[in-house]
Structure 1
Amino acid sequence: MEPEQPWHTAFPAPKTTEPASLTREEVLHKLRAGGIGREFILIDVRRNDYEMSFQGGTIRGAINLPAQSLFPTIPTLYQLFKNSGVRYIIWYCGSSRGRGTRAAGWFNDHIQEQGDENMKSVILSGGVKGWANAGEDFVKFMDGYISEYWTQFQS
């Protein structure tokens, strides 16, 4: 019996392997300024852990687009974001070191293929775990936040 392959092997590897990032402080500033849906969009790419951890909360205003089904939708998402004037696509998963980085890389590859110099595909440094454990200023911008869930991820 062959071992099961990781989900992402069904898709090409992103050319962009180290996408740009924004700190949680930079994203918090953007949220406070009220530009979500206009200047930027937050995308949570978790799937099973999103469903399980939604009890712990997610960043306010983020949409959930699981990484496992993202790749085929990139051209459509790009066109939607472009038509809406969105400049920053901010991706995150639990830590933004796996799925978030891969999603941001794929999307950045597509942006480059379009010759678009105005749109940016970036990751949220530290992901939702870092956000949820960064203090009161950050958890105020979470929907469904339950502190007990996030304590398991504190260092």
Structure 2
Amino acid sequence: MKDSSVQSCPVPDEQQPLKEYEQLKDSWFFRWATLESLPYWRKFAWVWLWGWIVVGPIAAASFPPQKHPFLFTLSGALGTSLLVALVLLRLYLGWYYIRDRLKSEKVFYEESGWYDGQIWQKPPEAIARDRLIVSYQIEPIMQRLRRTALILGILVGSGCLIWLSL
């Protein structure tokens, strides 16, 4: 049996905030934010390690590892942290977009193209349902991503302080 708010909804299926949320949480990349603690941190560790493939040669060209091993390691670590920060930013922006779509009382959608956008007022049941999803499902993810960004910022900041002290 379908929800009455969904039956009267003129928003195309793929643009409904609830469907967008389900697609996001099931997607390969955005699902990272929903993983248990160890697999979550393992994903970021893999990004950081694979980032060395890109950043390592640049760091080696700037600071030859034989002459300046500490500067090479520090510059490479800071460079790979930038890649981790970009991945983290992409995760955050994706979840932020869905959170805003679910929290909003009105939904913007396109009927057949960019030129004919419409706005749909959600019924009270849909607003309540969507806000519960935001409170209990998405906000913990957003907090986790903010904490991760804070930890990354502290690590990068301490790396920069070490760099300046050399």
TM over 0.5: no
**Which structure has the greater CA radius of gyration?**
2
TM-score of the pair, normalised by structure 1: 0.29
Q: Which has the higher helix share?
A: 2
Question: RCO greater where, 1 or 2, for CA within 8 Å and sep 6 or more?
Answer: 1
More strand by share: 1
